[in-house]
Amino acid sequence: MANLGDRLSRMKSWNPLFSTVTWGTGSSDCTQSIDFSSKLQNEFNLDAVLHLTCSNMSKELVDNSLKTAKSKGIRGILALRGDIPLELTSISNNSTGNNNCFKYASDLVEYIKSIPEYSEYFTIGVAGFPEGYTSATISETFDSATNSSSSASRNFNSSSTTQLDKEKDELKWLSYKVSKGADFILSQVFYSTDKFVDWYKKCRDYGITVPIIPTILPIQTYGSFKRIINLTKVSVPPSLNDQIELVKSDDLMVKQIGIDFCCNQISTLTKECNILGFHFSTLNLENSLLAILTRSGLLRTFNNPSDLSSLPSKFSASNTNSTLPVGGESATWDEYPNSRWGDARSPAFFNESIYGQSSFINTDQLLQWGFPKSLDDINTLFSKYISGDIPSLPWTSDNINSSNSDFVISVLNYLPKVGIWPMASQLAVDGAQSSDPEFGWGPANGYVYQRSFIEFFAIEPVALKILEHLKNNTKQDFSYYASKLNFDTNEPLILSNAVVNNASFDPSINSHLLEIESTALSWGVFPSSPVIQSALIDKLNFGYWSKEAIQLWRVWASQIGSFSKESKQFIDSVADSVYLINIVANDYKTPEKLFCFLREEF
């Protein structure tokens, strides 16, 4: 969290009304979110709106979270349903009956408003979905609601078990949340401005009168744009998609298109809906947002704290001394985010989830993946993913077959047959032009490089065999990390070329000041610019990702349980013994060497 300090110091000079803080993934980590909200309030004079999810939350944990938030001066709450927990904590496994106390965001809003010491203290927001909520089928949601004792008062028509009108259902749910006491609405990210305008006007016609704040997400890179679209399932105007596709290898052009598009969104919403306030999902990056705020006329800086007296806030009475510079060289070092392959020292590292929904597994996906009951079933599942027969796995929806090498493709298809389950790979590149349609990225007239690597799961016997072969590779052709999660301590055991130890990651460490041994996966050389690393692997980012990746086996198992107890038990057993392994070929001038090693040794 301390990594954000410099960035927050600059961004607070923009005088935002509030800053939202996401909840720990899977309703599992309230302490970190509340502590960070407190930092915003007390160290940066930024009013915090704390995301508070209720899925799998006990009444005791909600009470404790609200009490702690109030004690730290936090007055804004965004009440959300939340997603499936990544960790099967004692809360989600207890037998007290409290874990199902809050099934929907409306339950949480109603509860907060029912407590006198909170009802007037907290300003409560809820999420609105201009294109309908997509994390579950509407019929399942309504059936669940009408069968739930906590939601028995919802007199919605759930007689239809077929496709229902998502738009009308969203208005019903949203109106219901507002009727329980919500003070404002934050929309989901959207790219179809016309659909938002239509939804906004229908909300008003439906009788929803509280402020509706649109969420704007600047496009940072082609890859992150596609991941966000896949995550949220929101529609994209064909004209925007065509523009992005034409320049997808030029990150600067992608950013510029994103800036232009957001400015047009703001202009349209201001005119059509008389909207004056916007919620920006920054992914903890600032340059694009600064350009958007400046061009749109939204950025107002104040050199005297007294100038802020005319800007009332419902969230607190903080004053801001905004004399710090906006932007600068320190704002640009991590402007090429690459999801989990980015630098874990960056505030933008691995930060692409929207409203905590990134780990949701829907019914369609469960049916696609089937209900594995043996290792052969898992082998078959990964084979289908590699061949393109299924579009995703619980861990990824990226295309693993990005190489045009027939040999590499044949190796990837071979590995699941021997119990090696690949999720990501790339082939080395030695100086491709930055405009190259397959490998290019970054500014024009540059050259890009990358090392071959592969990342995969393997159960313990297979993993130990692989690690033994790597250990015996005396030429040091490869760098590797391997991780196995201890579910008792919830900490990964990290193994690498040089070290074997327990990896504990303290998010309070100002890690951008640390010297971390890392291996560059992709880098570029561009005119009038230092060498830029767009992707790397080190103990820090691998530790974060491996922990979550192995936990996702348990999430998958918990979702399958209602369909097949046998499959759930089997996948849980895999989670107990599975390793995540990442291997990088050090020599980028021999692209297929890593894949030859895998094919010959296994």
Q: Which residue has the tokens 């995703």?
A: 392
Residues 132-183: tens digit of each pLDDT: 765 543 223 323 332 333 333 344 443 333 334 677 888 999 999 999 999 9
CB-based contacts of 224: which residues, under 8 Å, 6+ apart? 283, 337, 339, 352
Q: Where are the beta strands (DSSP E) in 359-440?
A: 421-426, 429-433
Q: Where are the domains of the chain?
A: 1-182, 215-300, 363-601
C-beta of residue 50 within 8 angstroms of C-beta of residue 41? no
The Cα–Cα gap between 280 and 278 comes to 6
In three-state secondary structure terms, 396 is strand
Considering the entire predicted model, what is its pTM?
0.66
Residue of 395, 538, 507, 406 lying closest to 457 (CA atoms) = 395
The Cα–Cα gap between 212 and 203 comes to 9
Query: Looking at residue 357, what is its pLDDT?
Result: 34
Query: Looking at residue 134, what is its pLDDT?
Result: 58
Q: Which alpha helices (H) appear in 460-564, and where do they start and end?
A: 460-471, 539-560
Q: Which alpha helices (H) appear in 193-332, and where do they start and end?
A: 193-205, 222-232, 238-246, 251-273, 287-296
Structural class in CATH, domain 1-182: alpha beta
Rg (the chain; Cα; Å): 24
Q: Which residues pair with 500 in a beta bridge?
A: 495
Residues 551-578: tens digit of each pLDDT: 889 989 988 888 899 999 999 999 999 9
The Cα–Cα gap between 93 and 320 comes to 44
C-beta neighbour count of 460 within 10 angstroms? 12
Residues 100-134: tens digit of each pLDDT: 567 789 999 999 999 999 999 999 999 999 987 65
Tokens of 6: 């410099």
